[in-house]
Each structure stands twice: as C-alpha cells, then as structure tokens.
Amino acid sequence: MAAAPPSTIDSERRQSLSSASIRGNLRQARGSIVSIPGSPHTPQQQRPILSPYTGTSSPGSSFRQEEDAVILEIGSRWLRAGFEGNSMPTCVTGFGTEEGRRVGDYRGWIRNNSNTVRKRLIYDIETWSKNYELWTSDLRGFDIQLFEDRIERAIREVYNKYLLTDAGSSRLVLVIPSIVPHPLLASLLSTIFHRWKYPSITLLPTAAMATVSAGLRSSLVVDIGWEETVVTAVYEYREIRSKRSTRAMKMMMHEMGKMLSSVIYEIEGSNPDGKESSICIPFELCEEILVRMAWCEKSSQNSEDSEFMSAHSAPSTVSESVNRDTYSRPLDSNVSIPLPIGSDSKYTEMPFSRFSQPTETTLFGGPYETRDWDDEDMPLDVLIYYFLLSLPPDLRGTCMSRIVFTGGGANIPGVRQRVLDDVNALVEKNQWSVSRGKSINKRKSRLYEQSSNGNSTPSNTDESNSAFREPPELESNFIDEKMDLKRKDDRYVHGVLRQVESMGPWAGASLLASLKIRGMVEIEREKYLQHGLAGASRDYELNPPDRRSGHGQGAVRAGGDRSSWTLGEWR
C-alpha cells in the first residue's frame, strides 16, 4: 500500500488540530454560559495569576500592561473586594470570631464529656457584639494595634484566597465612610503602606459612590449601617451636609436579642438577677434570625386608609377576598425558631408578627413622642424630615426626589416604603415650616378667620381702589412658549418624594475606577510616609492651574502631578 505524501498528512493534522481547538473553545464558552445564569452576560476578564515567588517574563511581554485596580470597601462589619469593571465584588468577608481563628484552634469542634451539663451563657449587652466589629466611632479604650492586625490579615486573606494576584502590583481604591475618625484612617493607611508597596491609594466616599451606582449626580443617601444611620446630601457628586442617628442595626440587634431572651425566660420561668436587658442567645444565632425573620409594618396612616377603604367598599370578585386572606394569614401564623432552652436547642413556636417589634422600636421610635428623643437619637423618618428642612429649597427639591437607601438595614422588608410614607405624612402635617406648636396653630387660625371675614365684606368699586387691584396678566411671547414646551418634554423630577434603586457603593467605585478617573483624594506613598495625615492640605479643593498663561501653579510640574493633596470629605 502506497504511503501518503507528507504534505497531505500535515494538512490533515492541521485540520484536526484546528477543529479540536474550535471544539474546545466552544465547550469552554458553553460551560461559562451555563455556569453563570442570566442573559445577556458580559464575559469576565482573563487576569493572569501573579505571585511574588515567580520570576518575571521578558520586558517586552509586559510592556504597557496595566493591572486592573483592586477595590476594597471597608466597613465596621464587612470587607468587600474585587476588581474594577465588575458589577459585584469578588468576595465579602467578615471580622467575626471564625475569621479571626488561629491555626490549631479547634474550640468550635471540641465536644464536652457526656457527663458534663452545658450551661447557657449570659452575655453582657455592651460586649456582646464587640468581637464582631472591626472599629467603632467611640475610640475610648479601643485597641489600635489589634485593629491594624485584623485589617492586615483580612487584606492578605482576600488577596491569597479570592483575588489571586500580587498585593501592591496594581492600584488600590478604598471605599470608606467619610465619618471615619482620623486615628483609624491614619492607622489604616500606615498599615497598608508599610506592609505592601502600593504607589498610591485613592479614597472614595461611600455616599458619593452609592449615588454613582444609582446613575445620579445628586441624591439623598440614607445609609442604615451597623452603628449609625447617616443621612447625606450629595449634589454634583459632592457631599454637602450629613446628619447621624444612633438608631441602626446594632441597636436593632440588641432589641432582637432582648426579645428572644425574654421568650426563653418565659418558657423556663426564670430571669437571672432580675435583669430584663440581659441576653442569653449567641450573636450568630441572633443575627441569623434577624436576617431571615425581621420585617417592618406599614405606616399607621396607610393602615387607617386601607381599613377605611375596606370597610366602605366590598371586594369585586372572590379572588380579591382570597388574596386578602392569604396576605393577612401569614402575619397571624406561628414560625418555629431554634432557641437554646436549658442545655439543648429546641424549636419554639413564635408569632410572626412579633418579629416586627424590634424594627418598630429601633428605627421608628416606638410609642415615644418627639420631645423624648435626643438630637442624635432621632427615628429615621424624623431624621430625614429635619435634614431636608435644613437644606436650601432648591437642593431640598432635588434631593428629596432621589432618595437612595444603602446599608444592611435597607434590606429589611418594608423599611424603605415605611420611611417614605412617614416622611410624606410629616410633610403634609407640618409643611416646610420650622416653627410649630399650639401658639403657632392659634395664630394661623386667627389669620384664617380674619382673611375669611375680609372676603365676606362687600368690596368697594371706587376708582380710588383701582390702584390696589391685581395687575393684568402679561401676554406670553414665543420665548415663554418654547420654555414651556421644553419643560414638558424634560423628565427632571423635582420636589416629590421618590426612591431610586442603587447597586451599592462598591459598584459605583468599580464603575468610576474603570473609567480611569483620578479621585480627589489620592495619597502618594512617599508623601504619606514623610508627613502622614499632617501633610494634607487644609483646602477642601485644590486650586487648579492657570491655563491662560505658562506661569501658573501647574506650569513647572506635569499635568498629572500634584504638589499637595487633600483629605476631601475626611478633613
């Protein structure tokens, strides 16, 4: 049998290799589509896995190669990390006891002897959640060294387990609240600059980034965080004013722990030392119950309106009555919750409506009146109303139509709509007047009576009163008609309470970093190691170089270089 020529064999081998590669690419693409649900989907970028122990390639292969920026959102409970251009972070890590466990620490898996009876622990409410938060606004007795060690371990674990890239090889963007104290900010920057060789660090505020991720330029950001609820007015991507309240998720967690502990004490018929504020439930279990079962009731105004409508109108069809029954039935039903009763964990039946009490007591003040609240202890609806009242009218109309909710408390079902309904009720009751009270109401009623009496008297039609008549309306010209037509076509919403959905501060920072926009607060390594935070400029805005002549401040240096840097919102 004659052998085939070598050219034929090479062509067949080339065809088989090309077909195999095509099938492999199709299989890989099909696998990526199946593994990630949702369509359409933007394919993820292929990033090389770098390591400080591997040797570098030739200089030509890495010429003009720029690494994607790493974005870290650091809060008091969680750290979110990922690359620029992604819609969601790669990983979310906490600062609990499990994340801080050392190598060889098996206390969570060691079983006690069968003869020993496990006693239920009684936790102090002040130190109950201390081991699960990274930092607090109250720095009295705060361990800065422990904070540095925990943040260093968290960042190192994020790079080694999830990001799989060399720390310090790319730009670093930190998304942190603007209310972070200066000692914590200085400790954070010093830890990062000393442990890794980042050339610079960009700081971005969470409120402005939440506005960016919502697709807005101005908004009212309501951050229901862990320790505080912060309301911030953002206008043209700049924080104008902010107001805080201590009614947040930490207080709500304490209320949930007290409620569950009272249920346990009622079942057992005992209360240690007569302390109603003691907590006998672990923090992890209480947080799990809060995330799964907490909800918020409707506003009292809406409930009264719904009762009035239901009483004066019969259901049109049988399906409406069935839907109403199915909606009200789960609120009266019971749910089974695992609670540590005695030495074991048993399921306990509790009414589902009871899980709305911590939300009502914490975020909305409960049955207390306005005079019982401190300036730093206001409920969310009163806080937002007074904050909007303190803004200028034009800024108020812009921000109230673009309310953005962020934070863990915003995920509780019913909280956002309840806040909007209560704020709307306050606006209808008090309008936008700072003065209120019984004397103000009496004066308004007196003025109303005088105006009504003046209108009832017959008016004189003498020529002497013609000067006091209203001037005739001016004839409209074509310019006013054009402006009216333009306003009709314009979709700009102003002066109406409205909520806008946001993807969160991390997504906004990812979008901003992918556009290669240089932030206002960009701290260079050498300058910070020389002077620290004291090297920052006192000016909130750096003076731009005078481009009309070549003798301005930026004439000597390059356009991208800055002679000084500012702390911006962190000043």
Q: How many CA atoms lie within 13 A of 130 on its CB side?
A: 12
CA–CA distance, 189 with 197 (Å, rounded to integer) = 12
The tens digit of pLDDT for each residue in 222-274 reads 999 999 999 999 999 999 999 999 999 999 999 999 999 999 888 887 766 55
What's the pLDDT score for residue 174? 96
DSSP H or E run through 449? helix 438-456
Q: Flag whether pLDDT at 96 surpasses 70.
A: yes
| Range scoring the smallest mean pLDDT among 237-246, 326-335, 391-400 | 326-335
Domain that holds residue 125: 67-103+118-209+504-547+560-571
In a domain, 403, yes or no: no
Q: Flag whether pLDDT at 60 surpasses 70.
A: no
Taken as a whole, the chain contains a residue count of 571
Comparing 305 with 161, which gets the higher pLDDT?
161
| Range scoring the smallest mean pLDDT among 215-219, 446-450, 544-548 | 544-548
Write the DSSP string, 117-140. Answer: PPPPP-B-TTTSSGGG-S--S--T
In a domain, 193, yes or no: yes
Q: Are strands 344-351 and 334-341 parallel, antiparallel or unpaired?
A: antiparallel
Where does residue 350 fall: left (phi above 0), alpha (psi -120 to 50 degrees), or beta otherwise?
A: beta
In a domain, 55, yes or no: no
Q: Are strands 172-176 and 70-74 parallel, antiparallel or unpaired?
A: parallel
CA–CA distance, 403 with 415 (Å, rounded to integer) = 13
Residue 90 Cα distances to 70, 86, 171, 257, 407, angstroms: 10, 8, 16, 32, 18
In a domain, 278, yes or no: no
CA–CA distance, 399 with 232 (Å, rounded to integer) = 10
Please give the single-letter amino acid code of residue 412: I
DSSP H or E run through 244? strand 238-245
What's 564's domain CATH number? 3.30.420.40
Domain count within the chain: 1
% of the chain with per-residue pLDDT over 90: 42
In a domain, 189, yes or no: yes
What's the pLDDT score for residue 187? 95
What's the pLDDT score for residue 340? 85
Q: Spell out the long-range contacts of 555-563 with Cβ–Cβ below 8 A and sequence spacing 24 or more.
A: 560/518, 562/522
In a domain, 227, yes or no: no
Average pLDDT estimate for 497-516: 94
The contacts of residue 167 (CB under 8 Å, 6+ apart) are 155, 156, 159, 196
Contact 293, 337 (CB under 8 A): yes
CA–CA distance, 528 with 327 (Å, rounded to integer) = 59
**What confidence category does residue 125 fall into, taking pLDDT thresholds of 50, 70 and 90?**
confident
In 3D space, the residue among 301, 412, 420 whose CA is nearest the CA of residue 358 turns out to be 412
CA dihedral 513, 515, 518, 522 (to 10 degrees): 10
CA–CA distance, 380 with 223 (Å, rounded to integer) = 10
Average pLDDT, the chain: 76
Comparing 271 with 361, which gets the higher pLDDT?
361
Tokens of 193: 């600059």
Average pLDDT estimate for 353-372: 85
Q: Flag whether pLDDT at 441 surpasses 90.
A: no
In a domain, 144, yes or no: yes
Q: Flag whether pLDDT at 424 surpasses 80.
A: yes
% of the chain with per-residue pLDDT over 70: 67
Residue 431 Cα distances to 211, 270, 386, 422, 426, angstroms: 27, 50, 11, 13, 7
| 256 Cα distance to chain centroid | 22
Average pLDDT estimate for 191-218: 94
The tens digit of pLDDT for each residue in 103-115 reads 777 766 666 555 4
Write the DSSP string, 289-301. Answer: HHHHH---PPPHH
What's the pLDDT score for residue 49? 52
The tens digit of pLDDT for each residue in 538-571 reads 554 544 444 344 444 433 344 444 456 677 777 6
Q: Flag whether pLDDT at 41 surpasses 70.
A: no
Q: Flag whether pLDDT at 307 surpasses 80.
A: no
Please give the single-letter amino acid code of residue 237: Y
CA dihedral 254, 259, 264, 267 (to 10 degrees): 170
In a domain, 569, yes or no: yes
Comparing 440 with 419, which gets the higher pLDDT?
419
**What confidence category does residue 530 fall into, taking pLDDT thresholds of 50, 70 and 90?**
confident
In 3D space, the residue among 339, 322, 338, 333 whose CA is nearest the CA of residue 279 turns out to be 339
Specify the pTM.
0.76
Please give the single-letter amino acid code of residue 242: S
Tokens of 462: 């003498």
